[in-house]
Amino acid sequence: MLVIGLTGSIATGKSTCSQILSSPPYSLPLVDADLLARKAVEPGTWGYRRIVATFGPTTPELLLPASDPQCGGKENGPNGKGRPLNRPMLGRRVFGNTEERIHDRKKLNAIVHPAVRLLMARAMLYYYLRGHWAVLVDVPLLFESGLDIFCSTVIVVAVSDPLIQMQRLQDRDPHLSFEDAENRVKSQVDVREKAVRCERRNNGKKDAGKGYVLYNDGSKDDLKIQIADVMGKIRSKSPRWWSLLLLVCPPLMATVASWEVFWNWYVRRKTIKARGEEMAKPK
- Average pLDDT value over all residues in the chain: 88
- Domain match, 10 and 145 both: yes
- Do residues 97 and 180 share a domain? no
Q: Specify whether 47 is located in the same domain as 9.
A: no
Please report which confidence band the pLDDT of residue 281 belongs to, taking 50, 70 and 90 as the band edges: low
b/e sequence 187-220, b meaning 16+ C-beta within 10 Å: bbbbbbbbbbbbbbbbeeeeeebbbbbbbbeeee
Task: List the beta strands (DSSP E) in the chain.
Answer: 2-8, 30-32, 134-138, 153-158, 211-215
The predicted model gives 229-240 an average pLDDT of: 90
In whole angstroms, give the CA distance from residue 240 to residue 236.
Answer: 9
- 25-50 pLDDT, tens per residue? 999 999 999 899 899 999 989 999 99
- One-letter-per-residue 3-state SS of 212-224: EEEECCCCHHHHH
pLDDT confidence tier of residue 241, bands split at 50, 70 and 90: confident
Residue 201 has a pLDDT of: 92
Q: In sequence order, what DSSP letters do the residues of 36-100 get, joined into one string?
A: HHHHHTSTTSHHHHHHHHHHGGG-TTSB--TTSGGGTT-TT-TTSS-PPB-HHHHHHHH-SSSHH
Q: What distances in angstroms separate CA 148 from CA 22, 81, 135, 195, one per listed residue? A: 20, 35, 14, 13
Structural domain including 70 reads 40-131
Q: In this model, does residue 282 exceed pLDDT 90?
A: no
Residues 120 and 249 in one domain: no
Mean pLDDT of 113-120: 90
- Mapped onto helix, strand or coil, the DSSP state of residue 131 is coil
**CATH number, domain containing residue 169:** 3.40.50.300
| Res 278: pLDDT | 55
Last residue of a domain, one of 109, 131, 153: 131
Q: 0.75 exceeded by the pTM?
A: yes
Q: Are 218 and 158 contained in the same domain?
A: yes
Give yes or no for residue 185 having a pLDDT over 80.
Answer: no
Torsion of CA 19, 23, 25, 29, to 10 degrees: 100
Indicate whether 136 and 261 sit together in one domain. yes
